Amino acid sequence: KQKTIEQKWTNVATPTSNPEKLITYSTHDEGWMWVIWFTRKVFPFLGDLQGAVLLAILLHLSLSIIILSSLNEGWPRYLFTFFFICNPLTLHLVTFPYYYYWQAFPSLLAIIFWQYRQKIHVGYLPGLALFLALCVAVRPNVIFICLLVLGLSLYFIRHWISYASLVLFMVCFCFVPKTNKMMWHTVYTGLGAYPNNSGLYLSDESSYGYYKEKTGTSIEMSFGQNYYNPELRHDYNELLKKASVDYIKSNPLTALKNIFLNLSIGVLSPYKPGSSSWVYYLQASLGLVFFAALLRLRQWPVLIGLGLSLGCIAIIYPPIAAYAVGGLVFTAWGLMQILSQVLVRTPKI
C-alpha cells in the first residue's frame, strides 16, 4: 500500500518529479501568485490559501479601523460598520480564498486618502504606489480607482515625491505581465444577464455551447486539455467577438438596457444570477433612488468612486458580488452619509 501511494505521488507533475508534464499557461493575472508567494513566506505555518485569507482579513481590519478613526463617534461609525465592515457579503468575500476581495483595497484607500487628505505624510506615497500596483497586478479592473488615489495625492500633496510615486506606479504597471484573458468571452456571456429572446443566458456554458455549435469542438477545462491551447483560445475569442458585435448591432436597445440595468443595480446592490425580471427592475429602481439621493446631497466623492469602480465592469458584465466588491465600499459610504444626515435631523422621542 505504501508503494502504491508513493507511485501516485511520483506520477504527479512537480518541478522535481516529472517536470516534462508541467503545464505553463497564462490565463490568470500573476499578481495573485505574488500574494500567495508572500503569504507563504510570512505565514509558513499556514497553507497557501489560508495565508492569503489571513492577509486579506488583516488588511480589511486595518484599513477599516483607520476609516472608523476618521469618523465622528455615533451613527457614522455604526452605519459604516453595519453596511460594510460586518456586512455578511463583505465577510464572505474577505474570507473567500481567491483574489476577489483585493478589488476593495484601492476603494478603501481612496476613502482613507479623502478623509486624511490634510494629514497624510508624503513618505507613505512610494509604498502606497507599490501596493496599488500590486492590486492592479491582482485585478486589473481597479486601475481607475488606483489612478484616482494617486491623483488625489498629486492634488493635496504638492511635493516631488507625489510625482515620483505616480511614475513608480506607472513603471510597475508597464512591467506587470499581461495574461491571455479572453475579453469577448466576458462580453458575450454578459449579454445574457437578463431575460431575452435570443436564448442567451449568464453562464460560461452559454459561450462554450455557442463555440461547440459553430465549430463542433467541445471546450475541455481540465488541465492539459484544449482550453489552454493558444490557437483554440484565439479562435474562440475571435468567434465570440464577431457574435457579440453582431448581436449589439442587431439589438442596440437591448445592449443599452443591459448597461443601464447593470449600472442602476450596481450602485446599491449586487446582481444575483437567475433572479426574476421584476427583481432586477426593483433593484434598478432602488438604485436610481439611491443615486438621486447622492446627487441631492452632493456626495461627489461617492459618485466618482462608484463610477470608476463599477463603470469598467458594468459596461460589459452585470455587477455580481465577486466583481463589484470595490463598488460596495462606496455604496456603504454613501448609505452612511445619507442616513447619518437623516438620523441627526430626526428629533429624539
* DSSP string covering 152-185: HHHHH--SHHHHHHHHHHHHHHHHSPPP---HHH
Quick: pLDDT tens for 152-205.
Answer: 998 888 889 999 999 999 998 888 776 667 889 999 999 999 988 888 889 888
C-alpha span between 127 and 277 (Å, rounded) = 46
Q: Which of 54, 51, 58 is nearest to 36 (CA)?
A: 51
| 8 Å CB contact between 90 and 338 | no
| 8 Å CB contact between 112 and 70 | yes
Quick: pLDDT tens for 129-165.
Answer: 999 999 999 998 899 999 999 999 988 888 899 999 9
| pTM tops 0.85, yes or no | yes
3-state secondary structure of 320: strand
What pLDDT band is residue 27 in, cutting at 50, 70 and 90?
A: low
Quick: pLDDT tens for 62-100.
Answer: 999 999 999 988 889 999 999 999 999 999 999 998 899
Partners of residue 271 on adjacent β-strands: 320
Quick: pLDDT tens for 264-313.
Answer: 999 999 999 888 999 999 999 999 999 999 999 999 999 999 999 988 88
* Radius of gyration of the chain from its Cα atoms, rounded to whole angstroms: 23
